[in-house]
A = this chain, B = another copy of it.
């Protein structure tokens, strides 16, 4: 069954990627030991690794060497991990549970969490600067730019700022979409494009299709997250459930209701698959990931 093959593919990549992260993160025996221990705590043994899987799938599309995609995927995942550590801090979402474990500032302390996030971001860019990810270094510099733009004030950090400003406000659907395109969409897009950039160059038309695919998947991911958050309990989710409603944060569910949010996710799913219609077997994993992201139960 195709689903089983995809599951095997995912698990194999997730397991191998855990080893990549272990080798990339500084050892907890290297000074400053406590900071390094906290960095490893915040990154390892957690998460679905959706962004790395998207990078690996996009790397298959362009025939990229897996050793290169490992590094690109790790850079994206470190940015994601840093954002979770900072978002969980008391001055932001003030959350105590993440991936079934105490959050970094609970397990260590706030100052450590602040520095963990800062250092994980630096490490992401260090990876892109020190490993060969493309035979053409000019193209690799574009990857640096792409990840930095996706992370910064007009990407993920900006989306988080918009999110904070929206607490207690009534957002319109376009405003909510604008927020999520930044907060989660930008980094998902970076994952797909960085994975693809590790391989053969795509022409502009195909790159645009891939970009549209990643935008649809990124938004679908958030809509499904909102649905799951409104329905799941904390144990299943591995993070505090229902917190968005508790914080009076606008979500697709509070704005549209669960049914319409589900329909929206299905439409984005279908649009994502349409953008890949012109590709062949090499886009199989990207299609399957789009299915997984929309149909997942956690």
The answer to whether the Cβ of A273 comes within 8 Å of any Cβ in the partner chain is: no
A165 engages B36 (CB within 8 Å): no
Output the residue of A109, A149, A158 with the most chain B CB within 10 A.
Answer: A158
Interface residues of chain A, those whose CB is within 8 Å of chain B, are: 26, 30-32, 34-36, 39, 82-83, 86, 89, 91-92, 109-112, 114-115, 117-119, 121-126, 128-130, 136-138, 140-149, 151-155, 157-158, 160-162, 164-165, 178
With beta carbons under 8 angstroms apart, the residue of B110, B128, B145, B161 that contacts A115 is B161
Min Cβ gap A189→B in Å is 15
With beta carbons under 8 angstroms apart, the residue of B114, B121, B162 that contacts A91 is B114
**CA distance in complex: A6, B54 (Å):** 53
A32 engages B162 (CB within 8 Å): yes
B35 engages A122 (CB within 8 Å): no
B129 engages A145 (CB within 8 Å): yes
With beta carbons under 8 angstroms apart, the residue of B86, B119, B165 that contacts A152 is B119
A32 engages B153 (CB within 8 Å): yes
Contact (A112, B161) CB under 8 Å given A118-B121, A121-B118, A129-B142: yes
B86 engages A114 (CB within 8 Å): yes
Minimum-distance CB pairs A-B, first 3: A129-B145, A129-B144, A122-B152
**CA distance in complex: A165, B128 (Å):** 30
Known: A83-B118, A118-B157, A121-B121. 7 other contacts (CB 8 A): A39-B153, A82-B118, A91-B111, A115-B160, A118-B151, A128-B141, A137-B141
Min Cβ gap A129→B in Å is 3
- The interface residues of chain B lying within 8 Å CB-to-CB of A117 are 118
**CA distance in complex: A130, B111 (Å):** 32
- The interface residues of chain B lying within 8 Å CB-to-CB of A110 are 91
B152 engages A126 (CB within 8 Å): yes
Contact (A119, B158) CB under 8 Å given A144-B129, A153-B35: yes
**CA distance in complex: A122, B117 (Å):** 12
B153 engages A119 (CB within 8 Å): yes
Contact (A111, B151) CB under 8 Å given A118-B86, A121-B121, A158-B31: no
B122 engages A162 (CB within 8 Å): no
A153 engages B36 (CB within 8 Å): yes
A148 engages B164 (CB within 8 Å): no
**CA distance in complex: A92, B109 (Å):** 10
**CA distance in complex: A130, B31 (Å):** 33
Min Cβ gap A183→B in Å is 11
Contact (A114, B137) CB under 8 Å given A32-B162, A158-B31, A165-B34: no
